[in-house]
Structure 1
Amino acid sequence: MKQNVDVVIVNCFDTYEHRAILLKEVFESIGKKVCIITSDYKHIFKMKRDDFPVDFDPIHVYPYKKNLSAQRLFSHYRFACEAIKHLTQEYDNVSLVWFFVPPNSLVKEAAKYKKGNSQVKVVFDVIDMWPESMPISKYKNLPPFSEWGRLRNLKLKVADAVVSECDLYKSVLNRFYDKEIYTLYLAHDNNSLESKPNPPQDRISLCYLGSINNIVDISRICRVIANLDKPVDFHIIGDGEKRQELIDAASNVEANVVYHGKVYDRVEKQKIFDSCHAGFNFMKDSVFVGLTMKSIDYFEAGLPILNTIKGDTWKFVDELGIGVNVGDNSVTADQIMALQKSRKEVRSFFDKNFTKGVFREKVLRIISTLNL
């Protein structure tokens, strides 16, 4: 027997799960029954998953081992097909399906679903841009990567609404969707600890938070450290395949590296942030992204950023003074020290843009246009 569900959220990746749960909470707060179709695969760790929250409905996907591989594309395609099949066979009286994109193939399959279920409202929530956000500049406009992007772009117009994780993505999406595209930033729970900054006065203390992978601009991080005319403490919170490369490279430019590993305890993490002058928000120039999760963590902690991310974040830093944008020129120790005056403004910026309350208001505004 089919389940009666008002809203179905379709999300392939466990890395987007926090956003899915936030959406679920908003819909449930207005009396909607919600289910989340997801995959049974941990995509970062490349392993099967069996730990699912309540109202999560997992479907099996084919495993893969390499991010840039035919196996990965096939796995995502099969998820798209199976998700639509599951949606059709298992749920009744659905009024809205909110699709997380990527995978791009999900847009194509969702368009087929919409054609046969015109009464159901469809939202595409573009959380990442593939292949645009991948560090493969010289290949992005060549097959098969160009076709990968077309899977998303050609069928966007069937949506009743398109949502973007940042304003930057609109520069691409607006070419294929001629109605308003709504920006819906990531959000945190807003139960932050009090910040008690105590960075050293005789040296510079910097932090890197997050995955240490092939899109992190390690060489630029180390150039900044090397060009400072003060000793540098470099705190690293996180892990990834490039961890040792980052540690070695920073040590080679005479930084005092303090590797904390993965830190989940909020008190411990806040203490590390309080001991720093600024956090690195550096990715390679080839990466197409307007806002990073790590930057929101920094903002919540009241920690100014050193930034190379274009689009939304570059604009925020430039207009509000919540960090320093690092382009072709490097940053000085005096600039970093001066950022300490902006810590309250950094936290205030978080409160105005990235809390659950702000997220809720924006979602309600979006669904008010759908006449559910």
Structure 2
Amino acid sequence: MKICIIHCFDTYEHRVDLLHDYFKERGAEVTVITSDYMHFEKRKRTDKKEDFHYIKAVPYASNLSLTRLWSHLRLSKNIFAKIESKEYDLLWVLIPPNCFVRDAAIYKRKYRETKLVFDVIDMWPETMPIAKFKDLPPFTYWQKLRDKYLNAADAIVTECNLYQKKLPQTIDRKKLHTIYLARKLTPYQGKAELPQNRISLCYLGSVNNIIDIPVVAQLIRKLNKKLPVDIHIIGDGEKREEFVRECKNAGAVVMYHGKIYDAKEKQKIFDQCHYGLNIMKASVFVGLTMKSMDYFEAGLPVINNIHGDTWDIIEREKIGVNLKENTTAAEILVYDAVMRERVRRFFEINLGEDTFQRKVKELLLEL
């Protein structure tokens, strides 16, 4: 069986790795085609991986820029030009960029026997913090690139249930499947060492324009009336200085750790914290964030304000606090240490490699 996986962003490559390994273990010939530009670090990619083919991409410095759109359009054209003379049994395409949808649909017209799977790992422009511009070009054009051609797929995977609510109603709902982000399970190394008579928070990830800094500051002020507040920040971004300043102004002791990629080092910090913060602007449309995955893996309960899958999971599994307007400091400070065990158990059952593989197998049986 010949399989081709197409994706653009190294940010989600752990999902591609899981797919690659799943198919390889079952004897398939797997080709992965991706960009040579690292989206998060904004630099050319230099590493090499088995079965991966890197296509030159136009560099871009800003995530919200015409250069980025041009980069993705050119990348898509070049990727599908590379495979236009090759027929695969299965073409698995991670979306965005949305131009991949159109170009994959064109490929499917030529090779009708190829099974086509679109894997919607993010939604543009819905997840972009540009609420007042989303109904204007070029954003409407970018959305139509996705919506107009989605039905060309034999199956459409979304990485959370929430995304399915925004996809066009013209899509055959039988094609829709949810497969959450997942990771290979490693032995749990967590051991809580929480500070006494203080509340300790953690923010992990990009400190960018989708984090709701005023909401975090308001939360700190509310908690600070009851207990001193520490906040550990792991990551970096264009809003870092503002975030640190506003947390300090709200009364928190800020410990800025910068970027940390080593899992053991991150776990040491998580073990000192009561909660991880998953707080974004209301205009952001996302169901299950990467940072919440990290928190769940570490056994760290979450303070969350995004609706959709994460909200439902926290309510159902009792593994954190969903932040409402009337949420009191007392509700947050009633801390159940057993909650950390529930968080990790949820991760192992729902977001591990075995569950991911089972979901992929179920999807393939329906094709």
The structure 1 residue matched to 2:46, chosen from 47, 50, 55, is 50
| Structure 1 residue 334, shift from structure 2 partner | 4.9
Cross-structure match for 1:129: 123
Cross-structure match for 2:183: 188
Corresponding residue SS for 1:133? coil
Question: Which letter does structure 2 place at the counterpart of 1:55?
Answer: D
**Distance in 2 separating the partners of 1:183 and 1:207:** 29
1:116-167 deviations in whole A, cap 9, x for unaligned?
Answer: 1101111100000000000111111222211210100011111000000100
Cross-structure match for 1:243: 240
The structure 2 residue matched to 1:8, chosen from 1, 4, 19, is 4
Corresponding residue SS for 1:327? coil
Would you say the 8 A contact 1:166–1:312 is kept in 2?
yes
**Distance in 2 separating the partners of 1:336 and 1:22:** 38
Cross-structure match for 1:99: 93
| Structure 1 residue 338, shift from structure 2 partner | 2.0
Question: Which letter does structure 1 place at the counterpart of 2:19?
Answer: L
1:219-245 deviations in whole A, cap 9, x for unaligned?
Answer: 111110111121001111111111111
**Distance in 1 separating the partners of 2:356 and 2:285:** 23
Corresponding residue SS for 1:258? strand
Runs of 4+ in 1 over 3 A off after TM superposition: none
| Structure 1 residue 70, shift from structure 2 partner | 1.7
**Distance in 1 separating the partners of 2:245 and 2:97:** 35
Q: Say yes or no: does 1:36 pair with 2:32.
A: yes
Would you say the 8 A contact 2:89–2:115 is kept in 1?
yes
| Structure 1 residue 202, shift from structure 2 partner | 0.5
Cross-structure match for 1:154: 148
Distance 1:174 1:353, change over 3 A: farther
Question: Which letter does structure 1 place at the counterpart of 2:140?
Answer: S
Moved more, 142-151 or 131-140: 142-151
| Structure 1 residue 330, shift from structure 2 partner | 3.9
Question: Which letter does structure 1 place at the counterpart of 2:215?
Answer: R
Corresponding residue SS for 2:54? strand
* Structure 2 segments unaligned to the other structure (5+ residues): none
**Distance in 2 separating the partners of 1:192 and 1:260:** 24
The structure 2 residue matched to 1:199, chosen from 191, 194, 201, is 194
The structure 1 residue matched to 2:314, chosen from 302, 305, 317, is 317
**Distance in 1 separating the partners of 2:332 and 2:43:** 44
The structure 2 residue matched to 1:284, chosen from 281, 286, 298, is 281
Moved more, 296-305 or 138-147: 138-147
**Distance in 1 separating the partners of 2:105 and 2:275:** 44
Would you say the 8 A contact 2:8–2:97 is kept in 1?
yes
Moved more, 36-45 or 63-72: 63-72
- Equivalent residues in 2 for 1:133-144 (5 A)? 133-144=127-138
**Distance in 1 separating the partners of 2:257 and 2:187:** 20
Moved more, 157-166 or 78-87: 78-87
Would you say the 8 A contact 1:273–1:301 is kept in 2?
yes
**Distance in 2 separating the partners of 1:227 and 1:113:** 55
1:1-38 deviations in whole A, cap 9, x for unaligned?
Answer: xxxx7100001111121111110011111111101000
Q: Say yes or no: does 1:305 pair with 2:302.
A: yes
Would you say the 8 A contact 1:224–1:331 is kept in 2?
no
1:162-207 deviations in whole A, cap 9, x for unaligned?
Answer: 0001000000125241132111111122104332212123110111
The structure 1 residue matched to 2:83, chosen from 73, 84, 87, is 87
| Structure 1 residue 87, shift from structure 2 partner | 1.2
Corresponding residue SS for 1:309? coil
Would you say the 8 A contact 1:230–1:333 is kept in 2?
no
Corresponding residue SS for 1:338? coil
**Distance in 2 separating the partners of 1:337 and 1:248:** 28
Instruction: Please tell me the root mean square deviation across aligned C-alpha atoms, in Å.
Output: 1.4
What TM-score does the superposition give when structure 2 sets the normalisation length?
0.96
Identity percentage over the alignment? Answer: 49
Corresponding residue SS for 2:24? helix
**Distance in 2 separating the partners of 1:188 and 1:272:** 20
**Distance in 1 separating the partners of 2:137 and 2:16:** 32
**Distance in 2 separating the partners of 1:115 and 1:6:** 18
**Distance in 2 separating the partners of 1:96 and 1:278:** 42
1:320-358 deviations in whole A, cap 9, x for unaligned?
Answer: 211100022344145234243311111111111100111
Moved more, 102-111 or 43-52: 43-52
Would you say the 8 A contact 2:299–2:341 is kept in 1?
yes
Question: Which letter does structure 2 place at the counterpart of 1:60?
Answer: K
Cross-structure match for 2:332: 335
Cross-structure match for 1:59: 55
Would you say the 8 A contact 1:121–1:159 is kept in 2?
yes
**Distance in 2 separating the partners of 1:176 and 1:82:** 30
Would you say the 8 A contact 2:6–2:92 is kept in 1?
yes
**Distance in 2 separating the partners of 1:361 and 1:56:** 24
Cross-structure match for 1:115: 109
Question: Which letter does structure 2 place at the counterpart of 1:284?
Answer: K
Corresponding residue SS for 1:233? strand
1:37-62 deviations in whole A, cap 9, x for unaligned?
Answer: 00111122322222231111111122
Would you say the 8 A contact 2:147–2:168 is kept in 1?
no
**Distance in 2 separating the partners of 1:48 and 1:252:** 38
